[in-house]
Amino acid sequence: MLEKQRTISKPVSLSGTGLHTGNDSTMTFLPAPADYGIRFRRTDCENSPEIPADIDHVIDISRGTTIGKNGVEVHTVEHVLAAIVGCEIDNIIVELNSNEPPVMDGSAKDYVDALHTAGIAEQEEKRDYLVIEDTVHYHDEKNLVDIVALPLKNDFRITVMIDFQNPALGVQHTGLFNSQKEFATEFAPARTFCFLKEVEMLKDAGLIKGGSMNNAIVIVDRDFTEAEFEELKKKLELDPSIKLGHGILNNVKLRYKNEPARHKLVDLMGDLALIGAPVIGQILAARPGHAANVEFTKMLRKLYLKKKIVRKYQVLKSGDVVFDINAIMKIMPHRYPFLLVDKVIDMDEQKIIGVKNVTYNEPFFQGHFPALPIMPGVLIIESMVQCGCILLLNTIEEPEKKLVFFGSIDKVKFRKPITPGDQLILEMELTYYRKNMCRLVGRAYRNELGGEIACEGEFTAAIIDK
C-alpha cells in the first residue's frame, strides 16, 4: 500500500455529453494540495463553488450517484471517482462547466487515460487509510443484497457477484486484487449497462438524455416480435438501424465475458470513494447497486470518522479503549480535581460510553460523608455531562477551539448510591443538534452497562468558541 498522498502533475481535460442530463460538458482534472481530498468544482456557477466528494454530500441515488451543496449539484460522479481511486489519487479538483461529467463510452477508461496523461505526483504528507479491523456487514433482505468489509493485512481487494435473474446475463462474478496492475486494463473499460425494459422507464423519467448505443450496453430482457420492436424504437426515438440482437441490443460485442459484473465493481469503487479515504481490507458484494453502496459507504464513513478522531488524540491503542485519560486530557479543559471521566470505551456520532472509577481517595469523600462515603449526586451529573462534552466535541471540526456549556438539566433522578470501589458507566446519547444547540439523554449505571441505574436525566448544551 502507498505511504504518501498523490495528486496529478498537470491539468488535463475531456469533453462530451452527460449521460442523464444530455448537457454538453467539459471536465478538467486539476492538481490539488495535500489533504485536499476530491472536490468537484462548477465553473458555470457564480463563484465556482466546490462540492466535496464524500457521503455527506450525496443528495440522490435514483440512477447513479449525485452530490450537491447549497443547491449546486453534480450528477453521475461514480465513474469519475472510480477512475481517481483506481489510479490511487488522493487529492484532485474535478472542474466542470456543466452539472454532469461527460459520459464518454460509458466506462471509466477515458478518465483513467486522461489521468495517466496528466501524470502522478507524490506528495510529502502520509496517506490516511480506513483500516478494517472488525467485520462490517450491510444486508438488504428485500433486494437480497449483502456487502461485507473484512480485515485484510495491508492490502485492498474487492469481489462482486451479480444476479439479475436474466438468462442474457446469468450469474456473474469478478474480483480486483491489485489496483495498480488490474484496474486500468481489466476494469476501467467495462461499460455501463441497463435492461431494455428499463429504457422506457428512464426516458419517461427524463433521464438518459445523453444515452446511446455508443455509451451503454442494453440487455434484451424479454422476447419481442419485429413489429413490437419497431414500435418500441419509434417510441424511444432509437436509431432505425438498431437491431434486436441476441441477448444484447444491436449485437454489441462485450469487452469481457463478465463485463456487467466488472462495471458493477467499478460503480462500487466509485461509491466507496465517498468514504473520503482508501480502504485497507477486503470488500465482498453480492448484488450491489447505488442505493446499497451508499448505505454501506455511510457505515464505513462513520467508522472512518470515529477512527480519525481517535488517531488524533489516542497515541497508543489500548485494548478496547477509544480514549484513555491522556487522550481525554487533550480533548477536555478540565483538570484535577474536576476531571471526572477516566476513559471512553465506545463512541459513534450519536452515542458515547465512558467510565469513571470511584475510589476512596476522591477528595469529596472527606466531607460527604465521613461516616458513610457517598458520591455527591451533583458530581455524578458532572461526570455524565463531561462524557457528553467529549461526544459533542467529536461532532465538530477543530474541537480544540470550542467549549461546551450546559444550559439546562431536566428529569434527573437518582436511583442508586455510588460508594468507593464502584465504577460509573456513563452513557450519553445525542438526540438533537442544530445551530450549535444540543440535547442529550443520559444514564449512569453502577458497575455494569445496562445494570443498576445510579442516575438518569436530560440535558441541553451550547457549543461556543473559546
The predicted-structure confidence for 392-413, as pLDDT tens digits, reads as follows 887 776 777 888 999 999 999 9
Q: How far apart are CA 364 and CA 248, in angstroms?
A: 79
pLDDT digits (tens, 9 = 90+) for 420-454: 999 999 999 999 988 889 999 999 999 999 999 99
Most distant CA atoms of the chain, gap in Å: 97
Shared-domain flag, residues 275 and 158: yes
Shared-domain flag, residues 285 and 380: no
Residue type, 295: E
What confidence score (pLDDT) does residue 319 get? 64
Query: Please, are residues 183 and 112 in contact by the beta-carbon 8 Å criterion?
Result: yes
Who has greater pLDDT, 314 or 370? 370
Shared-domain flag, residues 344 and 451: yes
pLDDT digits (tens, 9 = 90+) for 132-142: 989 999 999 99
Who has greater pLDDT, 305 or 362? 362
C-alpha closest to that of 284 among 395, 173, 372: 173
Residue 201, pLDDT > 90, answer no
Positions of E strands within 127-216: 130-131, 136-140, 145-150, 156-163, 171-176, 193-195
Q: CA of 300: how far to CAs of 14, 105, 366, in Å?
A: 32, 31, 48
Shared-domain flag, residues 289 and 348: no
C-alpha closest to that of 114 among 91, 83, 143, 138: 83
pLDDT digits (tens, 9 = 90+) for 248-298: 887 788 999 999 999 999 999 999 999 999 999 999 999 999 999 999 999
Q: How far apart are CA 396 and CA 418, in angstroms?
A: 33
Q: How far apart are CA 442 and CA 429, in angstroms?
A: 6
For residue 116, give the CATH number of its domain. 3.30.230.20
Q: CA of 117: how far to CAs of 90, 93, 112, in Å?
A: 17, 16, 9
Contacts (Cβ under 8 Å, ≥6 apart) of 380: 414, 418, 424, 444, 454, 455
* End-to-end Cα spacing for the chain: 40
Q: How far apart are CA 75 and CA 360, in angstroms?
A: 62
Shared-domain flag, residues 274 and 334: no
Cell match 495528486: residue? 7
Q: How far apart are CA 41 and CA 164, in angstroms?
A: 36
Domains contained in the chain, number: 3
Under DSSP, is residue 22 helix (H, G, I), strand (E, B) or coil? coil
Specify the DSSP class assigned to residue 105. T
C-alpha cell at 34: 495535500
For residue 351, give the CATH number of its domain. 3.10.129.10
Q: Which domain holds residue 221?
A: 193-254
Return the exposure string of 332-361: e unless at least 16 CB atoms fall within 10 Å of the residue's CB, then b: beeeeeebbbbbbbebeeeebbbbbebeee
Q: Which of 254, 274, 303 is the last residue of a domain?
A: 254
Which ranges in 18-108 belong to alpha helices (H)?
A: 78-86
Q: How far apart are CA 250 and CA 365, in angstroms?
A: 85
C-alpha closest to that of 179 among 170, 187, 191: 187
Q: Which of 254, 271, 289 is the last residue of a domain?
A: 254
| Residue 368 falls in the annotated catalytic set | yes
Shared-domain flag, residues 344 and 417: yes
Shared-domain flag, residues 305 and 235: no
Q: Whole-prediction pTM value?
A: 0.75
C-alpha closest to that of 327 among 438, 339, 127: 339
Q: CA of 21: how far to CAs of 16, 44, 103, 321, 455, in Å?
A: 12, 15, 10, 49, 57
Residue 316: pLDDT band with limits 50, 70, 90: low
Query: Please, are residues 101 and 76 in contact by the beta-carbon 8 Å criterion?
Result: yes
Shared-domain flag, residues 269 and 347: no
149-163, 192-206, 301-315: which has the highest mean pLDDT? 149-163
Shared-domain flag, residues 117 and 217: no
pLDDT digits (tens, 9 = 90+) for 113-155: 999 999 999 999 999 999 998 999 999 999 999 999 999 999 9
| Residue 290 falls in the annotated catalytic set | yes
Who has greater pLDDT, 360 or 307? 360
Contacts (Cβ under 8 Å, ≥6 apart) of 435: none
Q: How far apart are CA 153 and CA 49, in angstroms?
A: 39
Q: Which of 221, 254, 287 is the last residue of a domain?
A: 254
Shared-domain flag, residues 395 and 350: yes
Q: How far apart are CA 92 and CA 278, in angstroms?
A: 14
Shared-domain flag, residues 300 and 407: no
Residue 27, pLDDT > 90, answer yes
Shared-domain flag, residues 274 and 169: yes
Interval 64-84 mean pLDDT: 96
